[in-house]
Amino acid sequence: MNALAPSVSPTRSSRGKSSALWLLAAVGVAWIDSAAAQEPTNEWRLLGPAWSGHGSSAGAPVRSESDSYSCRLGTWVGGPVSDGVAAGIPVNVCPLTATWQGDGTSSREWGCGSVDWPGFAQGTGAVAVCRFNEVRRARRWHGNNPALGLELTRRYEDHSAKFFAGVVRDSYGENSAMAGVAGLWPLLKGGRLRVDAGIAGMLWYRTVDDTYARRLVPLALPVLAVSDRETGIGFNASITPATKYRGVQYSVATLMLQMTFQLN
């Protein structure tokens, strides 16, 4: 049931609203669990890998990506291309913008050396072979979120109560920990698949902005739980809308998925 939504530092008012929603969700789940007349069926699940998709890069950490390859300078070919490739001369021509220097968000550089084309006298068939490097810096979330946790589902005839805890790499690429509860009601019970939907309340100690500040964040989120009865494999899904308070972004729209594996 791990959530992976990023945020920037929330205001005191928005933190208060989130705390109230989380408390309401937690109290509600505790009530429906204790008020149930019948004895529940306990289901234990391992919480595994998670992924998140974000609707905006606002507030995301700045990450560097690099691309490097060999190329030849100019279009002159001194003989059969196969001979040139055998001699270590690349087929691709270097881009004309290879010497362009970026504005701080990216940079390009290259280094060249001469390679003799076979069958020509030394120095007369030399080709400039270059190593082209490009480094790009851009704001991008970590959408692959390794995680490990444990979830207990107490299933009743008409609803379920979930209790979960785990660790996960958050959308800033940092380790975080969370624990929470959820109340769910069945959407599909017959056949091989079971689908439940409801609301979860959790406390999450995580990174909250691109300065990598960390704090305990209360959250209340809609959740969807899908499981396969035959294999025991399932997933939990949740979504957070983009929210702002007085012009300050609190979170971006985020879709979150996590694999689950039944243990009993």
* Per-residue pLDDT of the chain in tens (264 residues, 90 and over written 9): 554 655 544 444 444 555 556 566 665 665 556 555 568 899 999 999 999 999 888 888 888 777 788 888 877 666 777 888 888 888 888 776 544 444 445 666 778 888 887 766 544 577 888 887 877 777 889 999 999 999 999 998 888 999 999 999 998 999 999 999 999 999 998 789 999 999 998 898 988 777 788 888 888 889 999 999 999 999 999 988 776 655 555 568 889 999 999 999
Rounded to two decimals, what is the model's pTM? Answer: 0.67
Q: Where are the domains of the chain?
A: 12-61+141-262, 64-138
Q: Give the Å distances, CA to CA, from 222 to 16, 157, 238.
A: 19, 21, 6
User: CA nearest 45: which of 226, 240, 254?
Assistant: 226
Name residue, tokens 């999450």. 204
Q: Does domain 12-61+141-262 have CATH number 3.40.50.1370?
A: no
| Tokens coding 171 | 């959308």
Find out whether 229 and 210 touch, Cβ atoms under 8 Å.
Answer: no
User: CA nearest 235: which of 5, 46, 53?
Assistant: 46
| Tokens coding 203 | 């406390």
User: CA nearest 43: which of 149, 160, 148?
Assistant: 160
User: CA nearest 42: which of 156, 185, 150?
Assistant: 156
Find out whether 131 and 110 touch, Cβ atoms under 8 Å.
Answer: yes
